[in-house]
Structure 1
Amino acid sequence: MATTHIKRSTSASRLVNYAEKRAVKKDGLNLDIQYAKSELKQVRDVYGNPGKTQAYASRIAFSPVEFNPKDPHAQQTVLAVAKEVYAQAYPDQQVALYEHADTDSLHVHAVIGAINLETGQKMHGNWHQYRDHLVQITDQVCREQGLMVTKPDPNRHEKRTMAEIKLRAKHQPTWKDQIRQAVDHTMQNPLIRDFQSFQADLKQQAVKVWQRGKNLTYQLLGTNYKSRGAKLGLDYEKETIFNELASRQTQSKTNQQPKRAINATNEPAQSDPDRTPQLPGHSDSTASHGQNVAGSATATNRADRSTGQPPVSDDFKQLRRQQQQLTGPIKIDLTKRLRGLSKADQPDQSRKSDRTQTDPSRAGQNHPDHQPAQQPSEPNHSSNDGPNR
């Protein structure tokens, strides 16, 4: 049973230096393992090396159940199996192999040159594609060699390194566990529905998160400990988090739509009776306005109105009171003037009344109630010239 790993690197020499120090056995593919660094550099110089990636670091680890790390025969078998895997996966690449036995399981580090020896082109793609390709080849070779094949757990949502597994066995928490617990606590809150609120909630738990390409990167505040979501597990990857947030937004909109529809259907149509007389197109608006301003509407006419007609608005009532207040002094002044004129014409009126009393036949016709009203707008100016003759 073998597990695989691969990632890109900006320095092939650094990878060789790290792997060569602890190697118990080593071998090469398409290069002399004793001169791995120089031959990798020669190929880059011949074909050119645009970009930063010089090589890819890969690793194959075998189960201690099948191979004892201290057994020389097991070490030789593991190195041969690893070379066969990389020969099938990258037949046209330079590959330097270094076997380590310093852990509980035998594992082989591979430094894969980025340039294809046949085409001169660099490896193109992403590490997900490279890993899947390497996993398929590894499983195939293990079957051919009669070894167990690693079966991934479909319910596994966390990824842990060997160091994490050992610390967990000692019941010692790791900084990655702190990040996982913070993310789990945040995602348990149903009000977290977008990435901004996701960031803000994690910040309160001393975890910073940001987007970096197709990944999310988490970091413990105040430390240099940071990890991509893909390294923490499936539940912490960008795709998983964003899909869950989008699902919550959709569910929230779906739950709000029926409520708005119910409120719209349950509210009866209500009209504002005070606004109806103010509408210019209303049939009763002009008549109502004219009657209130002129003050000619009587109590009988108002009583005869149908019950469905809206009442006169308070604004028109206030306007009527203001008009009454303004016309009051004018009426009083006009009454005083009429009284002055009536006193000036009093001799003529007395004579007319005498004639009326002496003529019994006309007594019933000249009743005071039927006397024509004088025109106040045309006063008699002849009184200024003396008494009438």
Structure 2
Amino acid sequence: MATTHIKRSTSASRLVNYAEKRAVKKDGLNLDIQYAKSEFKQVRDVYGNPGKTQAYASRIAFSPLEFNPQDFHDQATVLAVAKEVYAKAYPNQQVALYEHADTDSLHVHAVIGAINLATGQKMHGNWHQYRDHLVQVTDQVCQEQGLMVTQPDPNRHEKRSMAEIKLRAKQQPTWKDQIRQAVDHTMQNPLIRDFQAFQADLKQQAVKAWERGKNLTYQLLGTNYKSRGTKLGIDYEKETIFNELASRQTQSRTNQQPERAIKATVDSSRTNFNRTTELSRHPNSVSGNSQNVSRSTTATNRTNRSTGQSTISDNLKQLRQQQRQLTGPIKTDLAGFLRRFSKADQPDQPRKSNRAQTNSSRARPKQPTPQPTQQPSEPDHSRDNGPNR
């Protein structure tokens, strides 16, 4: 089982100096391993492509369950397997291989030249692509050689270097552990729902966090210790943090909608109650009218209850009408006779009084004749009392 790693470097010579000191075995691909630094420089000068990136530092580590670091046969086997891996992964690159046996597992450091010998162009892409490509080739070669293929742990959320693993074995915390603990403590707070609140809470724990491209970078305040989230683990990467914060915001909006609806219902009911109370005090209010309507409804019900007596009232009305028809001509003749009789009995008055009365009648303003009010259809008893004057 082999694990791989790769990252870019601005100095190929520095990588060679570090790897060459501890090497128990070394080999090269497309270069002479004894003159690795000079040949790297010669290729850069020939192709005229200096730039900042000169090489890529890579490493392949093998499990101690398969190879013994102190066994010379295992050392040779591991170096041969590593050379085959890099020959398939980067056939047109300069690669210097240095095998180390100073840890519990045999591992090989590789210095990969950035310039492609076939095209003269530098390697283009990012280290994620390079690492995925190197992992695929390594698994293929290990399977062909009968070695165990590395199975990624889906539950592994933290990435630790060998130095961190050793410190953890000694139960000594590292500065990366301090950052992890601070982030864990912040994300346990359900009120942290945006990145600004996330930054503010971390700052109270002496950790600074900011966006850097597609990643998050964390730094212990007052120190130069800083690390990207991709090196701390999956739980500390930008995508994981931002997805969790967005999920909390969505859940918060969903929870607030029923509360707002209940509050609006309560407020509207209170408003309607207050309006009803105020309107009921007004004489022209709907409530007063509703009382009138209820009274009229009650009267109508009473009328409906008395429908059984309608037949008797109709008969009485017909009888009274017949009486008026019979007594009408008699009353008319009697009234005319009485008028003529009263005129004959009245004495003559002098003309002056008649003129005065005439003038006074002219002087008086004309008063509007009162309109007779409609009375219910009851029998007219006034005609029975005598003539009208």
Asked if TM exceeds 0.5, the reply is yes
Please state if 1:27 is matched with 2:27.
yes
What residue is the counterpart of 1:113 in the other structure?
Answer: 113
Which residue identity is paired with 2:284?
A: S
What residue is the counterpart of 1:200 in the other structure?
Answer: 200
What residue is the counterpart of 1:255 in the other structure?
Answer: 255
What residue is the counterpart of 2:69 in the other structure?
Answer: 69
What residue is the counterpart of 1:143 in the other structure?
Answer: 143
Please state if 1:245 is matched with 2:249.
no
The CA deviation at 1:264 is 3.0
What residue is the counterpart of 2:6 in the other structure?
Answer: 6
Q: How does 1:217-232 map to 2 (within 5 A)?
A: 217-232=217-232
What residue is the counterpart of 2:57 in the other structure?
Answer: 57
Please state if 1:306 is matched with 2:284.
yes
Q: Deviations over 1:254-295 (max 9, x none)?
A: 21122223333442364987xx99xxxxxxxxxxxxxxxxxx
What residue is the counterpart of 2:190 in the other structure?
Answer: 190
Structure 1 residues 272 and 34: alpha-carbon distance in aligned structure 2, compared to 1, 3 A threshold:
same
Q: CA RMSD in A?
A: 2.3
What residue is the counterpart of 1:18 in the other structure?
Answer: 18
Q: Deviations over 1:98-148 (max 9, x none)?
A: 111111111100011111111111111111111111111101101111111
Please state if 1:130 is matched with 2:108.
no
Equivalent position SS for 1:134: helix
Q: Deviations over 1:186-238 (max 9, x none)?
A: 00001111111111111111111111111111111122221111111110111
**What is the distance in 2 between the residues matched to 1:27 and 1:240?**
41
What residue is the counterpart of 2:40 in the other structure?
Answer: 40
Q: Deviations over 1:38-85 (max 9, x none)?
A: 111121122222531111100000111111111111111100000000
Q: Deviations over 1:7-62 (max 9, x none)?
A: 01111111111111111111111111111111111211222225311111000001
The CA deviation at 1:309 is 9.5
Structure 1 residues 304 and 41: alpha-carbon distance in aligned structure 2, compared to 1, 3 A threshold:
closer
Aligned partners of 2:44 and 2:50 also within 8 Å: no
Please state if 1:84 is matched with 2:66.
no
The CA deviation at 1:308 is 4.1
Deviates more, 1:47-56 or 1:143-152: 47-56
**What is the distance in 2 between the residues matched to 1:253 and 1:309?**
41
Which residue identity is paired with 1:306?
A: N
**What is the distance in 2 between the residues matched to 1:218 and 1:112?**
29
**What is the distance in 2 between the residues matched to 1:82 and 1:38?**
23
Equivalent position SS for 1:264: helix
Aligned residues: 284
**What is the distance in 1 between the residues matched to 2:285 and 2:32?**
109
Deviates more, 1:47-56 or 1:173-182: 47-56
Structure 1 residues 254 and 45: alpha-carbon distance in aligned structure 2, compared to 1, 3 A threshold:
same
Residue ranges of structure 1 left out of the alignment (5+ in a row):
278-302, 311-389
Structure 1 residues 153 and 304: alpha-carbon distance in aligned structure 2, compared to 1, 3 A threshold:
closer
Aligned partners of 2:79 and 2:108 also within 8 Å: yes
